[in-house]
């Protein structure tokens, strides 16, 4: 989990760096805003999935057990 978080942080900061460079070069504020929004949403979704992974796996296994009749 720590490796995933570190990788996400590195990716996020690299994209923020690119967004800041684009902002300084004044290529268009709306594009930068959309990129920052997309990166933020992707990071939030990845963090949510990482946090909920154990619950998702347990729930999925319970469903499989129920359907197969072994539960």
State the Cα–Cα distance between residues 58 and 41, nearest whole angstrom. Answer: 25
- CA 27 vs. chain centroid, Å, equals 26
The boundaries of the domain holding residue 44 are: 2-68
3 pLDDT band, cuts 50/70/90, is low
> Region 42-46: what's the mean pLDDT?
91
Closest by CA position to 37, among listed 29, 47, 26: 29
Split into its structural domains, the chain has a count of: 1
pTM of the model: 0.45
> What percent of the chain stands above pLDDT 70?
83
**pLDDT of the residue at 70:** 76
**pLDDT of the residue at 20:** 81
State the Cα–Cα distance between residues 51 and 41, nearest whole angstrom. Answer: 15
Query: Average pLDDT, whole number, for the chain?
Result: 82
């Amino acid at each position: 989990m720590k490796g995933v978080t570190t990788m996400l942080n590195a990716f996020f900061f690299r994209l923020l760096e690119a967004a800041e460079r684009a902002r300084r070069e004044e290529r268009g504020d709306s594009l930068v805003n959309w990129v920052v929004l997309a990166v933020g949403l992707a990071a939030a979704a990845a963090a949510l999935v990482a946090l909920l992974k154990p619950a998702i796996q347990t729930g999925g296994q319970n469903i499989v057990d129920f359907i197969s009749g072994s539960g």
